[in-house]
Chains A and B, each alone.
Chain A
Amino acid sequence: MSATIIDPVFVARGLTKTYRMGEVEVQALRGIDLELHRGELVVLLGPSGSGKSTLLNILGGLDTPSGGEVFYLDHKLTGATEAELTRFRRDHVGFVFQFYNLIPSLTARENVAAVTEIAPAPMKPEEALRLVGLGERLDHFPAQLSGGEQQRVAIARAIAKNPAVLLCDEPTGALDSATGVVVLEALEKVNREMGTLTVLITHNVGIADMADRVIRLSDGQIVEIRANPARKQARELSW
């Protein structure tokens, strides 16, 4: 499915975020305006400290902006309560992290089930694991899986609830390039087959070629939004 741009999934207007770190105020975001659409694969590029994780966390309902507004479809995320944000994450958002963050005491299948058990319309855990190519390793505990496999369990866990949006913060950051490609293929497959809006943070320029759009941040501001005329396939990438 190609990226047909209809109504936006996320709309952000004038987002700012200021952290206090001890004595110092840090301006992480300085006025972000952005629209993200259904089915898109968007890469957020930027050096560390550019504000890309802050932006992702605000979109995912993990953090709240200091100023501006964010809308998910017709829900306003700014000003939502902690309980409403939890509900939003639970029902609509899939997260993938750099360090997988699997539950060590649960098997691959159960890690996925932990999420599907509380989601309104999930797929079967086995189905999600097959989608990322782990249909054979259902009953392994995280300690028995390689890094790449663990990250794919994390992707299966993120998509199993059929989320409207998949947010990935440096999903290949802790992996070697060959394993990274396998993980990206899984993300690409999910994005293509399920039409999930996928936002992917990286500071690895090579990965940007698989995106529909590349948004480059620097110093808390969007410095460039570039549409790729043709998406490269994940297996063509290397870094």
Chain B
Amino acid sequence: MLRALDLKLLRDLWHLRGQVLAIAAVIMGGVATLVMSLSTYDSLVDTRDRFYSEYRFADVFANLKRAPESLAERLRALPGVERLETRVMAGVKLEVEGFSDPITGLLLSVPDAGEPRLNAVHLKRGRMVQPYSSDEAVLSDTFADAHGFQPGDRLAAIIQGKRKVLTVVGVAVSPEYVYQIAPGAIFPDFKRYGVLWMGRNALAAAYDMEGAFNNVALKLSLGVQPQDVIDRLDALLASYGGTGAYAREDQFSNRFLSEELNQLRTTATVFPAIFLGVAAFLLNVVLSRMISLQREQIAILKAFGYPDAAVGWHYVKLVLLIAVLGVAAGTALGTWFGQGLAHVYQETTFRFPYLDYRLNPRIVLFALLVGGAAAISGTLFAVFRATRLSPAQGMLPETPTVYRATVLERIGLQRWLAAPSRMILRHIERRPVKAFFTVLGIAFAGALMMVGNYQKDAIDFMVDVQFRQAAREDLALTFIDPTSGRVLHELAALPGVTHVEGFRDVPAILRFQHHEYRAAVYGIQSDGALHRSLDRRLEPVAVPPGGIVLTDHLAERILHVQPGDMLTVEVLEGERRVLQVPVLGITRQYLGVSAYMQQASLNALLREGPVVSGAYLAIESGMEQAVYERLHERPRVLGMVANASAIRSFYATIGEFVLFYTMVSTLLAGAIGFGVVYNSASIALSERSRELASLRVLGFTQGEIAYILLGELAVLTLAAIPLGMLLGVGLVGILVLSFTNDLYRLPLLLTPQNYALGASVVIVSALLSGWIIWRKLGRLDLVAVLKTRE
């Protein structure tokens, strides 16, 4: 049997059900983002850690030109090295029947005898290659799924210019390639890039690496600093064409995964904080109103002997019930979102053998604590007032509200304002803090909407900058080795090729004082029409001769150099020269970081003739396939990346992601917008139903009294729109600041459409609430209100 006071609580909740639901929806929004981000974060971290350890993901990696297998012993003897695996790694062109776009592939060796000691693969289908088989391969699952490969199917690889037919025996995922992207590519492209594993002997035979290796992975003993090992490794490998060893944290796939995890953590703090803050404010407004309506009831309870604390607890319970409702709904929604997000990750970005989505009870408990704390902190003051009310005081009617003329009227605008408009202004001005928080709450709805839609705009913008301003070539191709510039004439002569620009790129370590970064230095054409560097205003700018131009992030955040400084460039190729090169300019780039020089200057520094490592091609529309075929036949062409198809496939991949985020953000922004507007309108209606009914009796139409109530709402909503835009810019700013790294920088970009979307979520929530209030105004009981004292 419920106690009488608890029954009152439940009935009060039922009576306020609209507002209770609206507030619970806002809490739900916060908890849903919290639960979604934290649970997905947890699941990804758990899965990653399990995958890495079960499949022996290495700690340090190094690529080199070629070293005899005997060197492995010396490497293994390095202090701190626990285990080591040498491999053969080959960049290849792939041929898939019925698919004519260029495909690049990476062939990796697996030991013929026994399991890989490091970087093992997890078979999803089929089997591993048989020992000493010559033509078997295991495919990465992204590539296999994109083309529908099954064990038993065949494909061809062009290894060192020789075509080799491979039989697919298995489909696998690897801890090294959780995030799979072609070297130098901007986006993952599952159809046009694949990783394949072959037996060591077969691959070495095809790649002229018998008794040798060109890639090594190391597992370090516990507690060993990777940098010490890397330094020793670099020294040993230098004479074998080593291009610099790197630790797991710089391993591309792992690096990208870490950045994504950081993003989830930010989502888990910033957004729930906004929602719960707004919910706390709404609860404060609703509870304050309820307590002032229930003055007499409180007085009577106390007169009958209920202690102050019991009365306070009564209202705290009410608030907690609303919070629990919101947390429960938020946990359910967050779990659903989390499962969705994990699924989208697994489909589009990160490939794990399994992704166990798990909702840790710790997260639910945390959500409950945070939700409850926010709710109680928002209502402390109102509850305190209820406990302090003395019974005698409570029996008396509340002193009438004191109004005064508003600033607008005092400065002489009153004659422009009819009585209803004055009522609106005075009501707002009487409680400026409440009005401000209402505006702020509504504004956050718009801001959240803008953040949700920012993602797509940012991607569009980055694609535009990258492919329509900077890398405008239709096809980028790389040669197996640096080649004489004469090859460019041959390329230009191919039917369908309208323009050719050669480039030279070389891996290098860039140093300035104690800062260093491993990057490719690109020698491009100063007057290039295809591949250009852009200045800070994203205008194409010519690379000056005799020096180097750096991406802003690389110059300012990583190397801390300014134009005019001398940069040390340690070339990791050929004679491995160490050069002093003046920094001549800063360029802007959102994806990756690069160093640019004029090709002629780079050739001169490397003491070589007009040598190119690859070429950018413009191709006549419709002739692409023909050009691909001609180039594919050429043994010296190592790989090709076609921009248009890369962009198309990228959009196909992220479409699901963008859709998911847009759905989530629209839902949440709607919840917050509706929650705030509907609550303030409901409170206003409750506070003012008496005066509005009086006006109705005096002959005001429903439209005229609606003007007074909804007019106030409209003023607040209109004020919220620009503030929401401002907050939207601020929140996007936070995103931009927190996701600035050498892999990508987000542009601070807000399109007019995005502003419009932010405004429309505010307007739609206001209209919806306005419509509900309008219907309630139609049911205003004119007679009853005249009989009662407020």
A binding-site residues for B, Cβ under 8 Å:
53, 57, 60, 62-63, 83, 86-87, 89-91, 93, 95, 97-99, 101-107, 110-111, 113-115, 117-119, 141-144, 157-158, 169, 174
Contacts and interface: CB of A to CB of B under 8 A. Distances in A.
Contact of B704 (A87, A118, A174): A118
A58 to B, nearest CB: 10
Given A62-B783, A99-B788, A169-B786, A104 B401 contact: yes
A105 B701 contact: no
A105 B423 contact: yes
B695 A103 contact: yes
Interface SS, B side = helix
B404 interface: yes
Contact of B699 (A63, A89, A103, A143): A89
B66 interface: no
Contacts of B399: 143
Nearest to A111: B419
Nearest to B399: A143
B697 A89 contact: yes
Contacts of B698: 89-90, 95, 114-115, 157-158
Contacts of B691: 101-105
A110 B786 contact: no
B456 interface: no
Interface in B343-370: none
Nearest to A60: B697
A105 B426 contact: yes
Given A99-B786, A105-B423, A106-B422, A86 B701 contact: yes
B783 A57 contact: yes
Contact of A83 (B697, B701, B787, B790): B701
A115 B422 CA distance: 14
Given A95-B697, A114-B695, A106 B423 contact: yes
Nearest to A82: B702
A144 B403 CA distance: 10
Interface string B652-696: 000000000000000000000000000000000000001101111
B648 interface: no
A105 B403 contact: yes
7 contacts: A97-B694, A98-B786, A101-B694, A101-B786, A103-B423, A105-B423, A106-B422
Nearest to B693: A101
A143 B422 contact: no
Nearest to B423: A105
Nearest to A167: B697
A141 B700 contact: no
Interface string B550-570: 000000000000000000000
Nearest to A94: B698
Contact of A103 (B404, B694, B790): B694
A117 B782 contact: no
A113 B402 contact: no
A205 to B, nearest CB: 22
A94 to B, nearest CB: 8
Given A86-B699, A103-B694, A169-B786, A143 B400 contact: yes
Nearest to B778: A82
A53 B694 CA distance: 16
Given A103-B694, A104-B403, A105-B426, A113 B419 contact: yes
Contacts of B693: 101
B74 interface: no
Contact of B401 (A97, A107, A143): A143
Nearest to A112: B419
Contact of B789 (A99, A117, A144): A99
Contacts of B790: 99
B83 interface: no
B713 to A, nearest CB: 16
User: Considering residues B420, B423, B786, B789, which has the most beta carbons from chain A within 10 angstroms of its beta carbon?
Assistant: B786
B418 interface: yes
Contact of A93 (B401, B419, B699): B699
A45 to B, nearest CB: 18
Contacts of A110: 419, 422
A106 B421 CA distance: 10
Interface in B256-311: none
B427 interface: yes
Contacts of A62: 697, 782-783
Contacts of A89: 697-699
B419 A117 contact: yes
A114 B420 contact: yes
Nearest to A97: B786
A114 B403 contact: no
A90 B699 contact: yes
A157 B691 CA distance: 14
A143 B402 contact: yes
B403 A143 contact: yes
A113 B419 CA distance: 7
A208 to B, nearest CB: 22
Contacts of A98: 786-787
A95 B785 CA distance: 14
A189 B506 CA distance: 104
Residue from A63, A87, A90, A118 having most chain B Cβ neighbours under 10 A? A118
B430 interface: yes
A8 B165 CA distance: 110
A144 B787 CA distance: 23
Nearest to A113: B419
Contacts of B697: 60, 62, 89, 95, 101
A119 B698 CA distance: 10
B289 to A, nearest CB: 16
A114 B419 contact: yes
Which 10 A-B residue pairings sit nearest by Cβ, starting from the closest? A90-B699, A114-B419, A101-B694, A143-B400, A89-B699, A105-B426, A105-B403, A143-B402, A97-B786, A103-B691
